[in-house]
Amino acid sequence: MKKIVFAFAMCAVLVLTLSATDLMEPESNLTAGFVTGNPEIASINQMSFGPEGILFLGDSKNAAIYALNTKDLQATSEVAEINMSGFDTKIAASLGTTIENIKISDMAVNPVSKNVYFAVHVADGTPVLLKLKGEGFENVSLQEVSYSKIALTDPIPADAKDKRDRPLRTWAISDLKFHKGKVLVSGLSNKEFGSTFRSIPFPFTDTQEYASLEIWHAAHGKYETHAPIKTFDVIALDKVDYLMASYTCTPLVLFPLDALKEGIHTKGRTVAELGAGNSPLDMISYEKEGSTYFLMSNSNRPVMRIKYDDIANFKESMTEPVTVFAETEGVAYDNLPFPYVLQMDKLDATHVIYLQRQADGDLRLRVRPTEWM
C-alpha cells in the first residue's frame, strides 16, 4: 500500500513539474545569448523597438548599443486616447524633482503591447527608462535586466568638440532603427570622414559594418563629410531599400543600403533642401488610403509631410547651392499645423503619438489618427 501511495505521489509531482515547465516563457532565438545583470548604461540618446518586445538603446557616452528584453509581450489592438497636459511636470514629479532637472531624450512605442517608453536624464546625467501607465509612469529597471550589448567600433572620442567648443560625443549615436534583422545606426566616428552609418546584425556578434558618408549640402553650397545624420528612415524605391537621411539645415539625402558596406566611402543623392536654420528631430512613415507618407518633426519648423510618390519621381541629384536663406528646393512637402513637435512615433497603423510644446509653454502628449495627419 505504501508503494502505491509513493508511486501516486511521484506521478503527481511529475505532472506538476511538467505543468510548471509548460507555463514558463520559452527563450527565443533572438534572446538566447542575453545575460542578466546590470548593463551599466550611461546614457540613452536614442531608442527603437525590434521584434519580440526587444528595446534597442543607443548610449553615446559608452558608445554602445544595448538590446533589452522588456518581456512586454501582451499583445493588444486597442489604442489609448491620450491627451496629457503638463507632461514634463508629471514626469519630473514621478522622479521626485522638477522640470529644470530632467531632459526627455527619446520616445518609443512597443509595437506588440502599444506601451509607450520614454528615455529621461536627470540633473546628474543618470538615465531613466519610464513606461507610460495611464496618467502615470512605471520605472523600468536598468539595473537587473536581460540584455545584450555591442560596443561601437571607432566612435568619436569622448573629449571631441566642434568649432564652437560644443561636445561631439553625444552624436556618436544620432539615430537608430531595426530593419530586416539589423540595427541601423547613424552618428560620428573618429575617422577622417566622420559622418558614419553602421549596420549591425542582430543577435549581436563581433560583426558591424560601417561606411563613411558624403552629401551635397545645398544650403551651405558644398560637399560635407562631418555632419551626422540627425534622423532617418528606410524607403523602398524600385524594389531597392534606401536610407533616407535628414541633416541639420536641412538636406534630405538618399543612400542605397546595399552600398553602405564596411570601409566604403559613399556619396548620397540629395533630393531636397528643406530650409536652413532648422534641425530635424524625428522621422516616421505611415500608410493612408493606399499611399505612403513620411512625417518629419523639426526644431524650428512645423511637422513636414512628404509623399512617397514625390520622392520616387524625383530622379535628379541636387548639386547647386540654395543661396536664399531658408528657401527650399527639390522634393515638395506640406507643412502640417503641428509646430514644436519634439518626439513622435507610430502607435499603430492608423495612429501617431507625439510630444508637442504648446504656444503657452505646456508640454502635451497626444495621440492623433493618421487620417488627420
| Cα–Cα distance measured from residue 212 to residue 229, given in angstroms and rounded to the nearest whole number | 11
* Cβ-Cβ contacts under 8 Å for 118 (sequence gap 6 or more): 91, 104, 106, 107, 129, 130, 131, 132, 137
Whether residue 252 contacts residue 304, with contact meaning beta carbons closer than 8 Å, is answered with no
Q: What integer pLDDT is reported at residue 27 of this predicted model?
A: 57
Region 250-255: mean pLDDT is 98
Provide the mean pLDDT of the chain.
92
- Burial, 337: exposed, middle or buried (Cβ in 10 Å; 0-12, 13-18, 19+)? exposed
Write the pLDDT tens digit of every residue in 203-247. 999 999 999 999 999 999 999 999 999 999 999 999 999 999 999
In the numeric block, which cell numbers belong to residue 29?
Answer: 532565438
* Per-domain boundaries in the chain: 39-151, 158-336
Write the pLDDT tens digit of every residue in 32-63. 999 999 999 999 999 999 999 999 999 999 99
SS3 100: helix
CA 368 vs CA 83, 354, 358: distances in Å: 9, 8, 16
Write the pLDDT tens digit of every residue in 300-320. 999 999 999 999 999 999 999
Whether residue 226 contacts residue 194, with contact meaning beta carbons closer than 8 Å, is answered with yes
In the numeric block, which cell numbers belong to residue 10?
Answer: 511521484
**pTM (2 decimals)?**
0.91
